[in-house]
Amino acid sequence: MGRYKENMKVYLDFEKPVADLEGKLAELRTLEEGEGGVGIADEIARLQTKADQALRDIYGKLTPWQKTQVARHPERPHTLDYISALIEDYTPMAGDRQYGEDEAIVGGLGRFRDRPVMVLGHEKGSDTESRLKHNFGMARPEGYRKTVRLMETADRFGLPVITFVDTAGAYPGIGAEERGQAEAIARGIDACLALGTPTVSVIIGEGGSGGAVAIAVTNAVLMMEHSIYTVASPEASASILWHDSSRAADAATAMKVTASDLKRFKVIDQIISEPVGGAHRAPQEAMESAGRAIESVLKEFDGVESDEIRRRRREKFIAMGRSL
């Protein structure tokens, strides 16, 4: 978990009140180290309470657009963070055996709380180098074909599949189209539905369009409190609806992209609460909550036959939207 060691914070624009208070706190702490004194300690305690309250207030009423920004926060835990926090014996697998290896989607074998599992997800990367390597989590056809291969392997060996969803969408490029992006996503959805082992997905940041669905057609779909799941990114939606991508905030509101909206539409099964101030403030705590939720889903399927697992998954999706 190297990337959480140095405590350098990125503040979102609506977090400014907190940023100001925490800035002052940091100054006071340096002062305290140098001089000490009762007065300073009191001031620190007072400001800390104030900062905590400001954070709670802000995060208690995030707008859909603010949630979108939290979902994309650079310090928000990504798939590889979840894997390292929750999966032991992680053994990455690579390649679609047809064309190449797409690192926008990572995955492999591992153990989740003593259960052998297959785990996979979109990885956005956490610095310039890794972002480029993972193509910002925007997969090409070979990425989706890799997920199909991993899922089929899981099915053959009776392993449950855990997926982490975090993508703005599938990559729109010439090569991706040439190699059949649409077909790759369609086969991904098909493969999700065909699995005879329990499957659970967690939308940890952005669930963007078909590129997200390709790995999210699972027995249980869980969503982190401040993540979003949408038919098209707010920017793309704004560009389609108003021919103006700068109206992304309006689109985020109109498109109903938040976890609570999706729970209301019964598109997701459960919302996983995040620590105050979002998962990036306390990544371990957030990932631990996700771990508990995943475990309880997998427990539900202990001893359930493959046909029944498949049937329940199909019926869940077929029923979707029929009663709202």
Partner 1 sequence: MNWINNIVRPKIRGLLVKKETPDNLWVKCPETGEMVFHRDLEANLHVIPGSGHHMRMPAETRLKQLFDNGEYVRIETPDVVADPLKFRDERRYSDRIKDSRAKTGERDAVRIAYGTLDAQPVTVGVQDFEFMGGSLGMAAGEAVITGLETAAERRTPFILFAASGGARMQEGILSLMQMPRSTVAVAKLREARLPYIVVLTHPTTGGVTASYAMLGDIHIAEPGALIGFAGPRVIEQTIREKLPPGFQRSEYLLKHGMVDMVVHRHDLRATLSRICRILLKAPSLGHSVPVTGAPDAEPVQLPPPMAEAAD
Q: How far is the CB of 174 from partner 1 (least distance, A)?
A: 7
- Give the distance from CA 189 to its chain's centroid: 18
Decide if residue 230 touches partner 1 (CB under 8 A).
yes
Let me know: does 211 contact 176? Beta carbons within 8 Å.
no
Q: Which of 154, 257, 297, 298 binds partner 1 (CB under 8 A)?
A: 257
Size of the site for partner 1 (CB under 8 A): 50
Decide if residue 124 touches partner 1 (CB under 8 A).
no
Q: Which is nearer to partner 1, 83 or 259 (CB)?
A: 259
Count of Cβ atoms closer than 10 Å to residue 37 Cβ: 11
CA distance 69 to 12: 7
Decide if residue 265 touches partner 1 (CB under 8 A).
yes
Count of Cβ atoms closer than 10 Å to residue 5 Cβ: 7
What are the φ/ψ torsions at residue 36 (nearest 5 degrees)? 75, -165
Residues 163-192 that bind partner 1 (CB under 8 A): 170-174, 176-183, 185-187, 189-190, 192
Decide if residue 127 touches partner 1 (CB under 8 A).
no
Q: Which of 21, 262, 286, 309 binds partner 1 (CB under 8 A)?
A: 262
Let me know: does 36 contact 120? Beta carbons within 8 Å.
no
Which residue, 155, 183, 179, is CA-closest to 100? 179
Decide if residue 255 touches partner 1 (CB under 8 A).
yes
Q: Which is nearer to partner 1, 58 or 151 (CB)?
A: 151
Query: Identity (one letter) of the amino acid at 6?
Result: E
Q: Which is nearer to partner 1, 80 or 268 (CB)?
A: 268
Residues 288-317 that bind partner 1 (CB under 8 A): 314, 317
E strands, the chain, are 87-92, 105-112, 115-122, 161-167, 199-208, 220-224, 228-230, 270-272
Question: Integer distance in angstroms from the first to the last C-alpha of the chain?
Answer: 41
Q: Which is nearer to partner 1, 120 or 138 (CB)?
A: 138
What are the φ/ψ torsions at residue 316 (nearest 5 degrees)? -60, -45
**Window 49-88: contact mask with partner 1 (x via CB under 8 A):** ----------------------------------------
Residues that bind partner 1 (CB under 8 A): 170-174, 176-183, 185-187, 189-190, 192-194, 209-210, 213-214, 217, 229-232, 236-237, 240-242, 254-257, 261-262, 265, 267, 314, 317-318, 320-322, 324
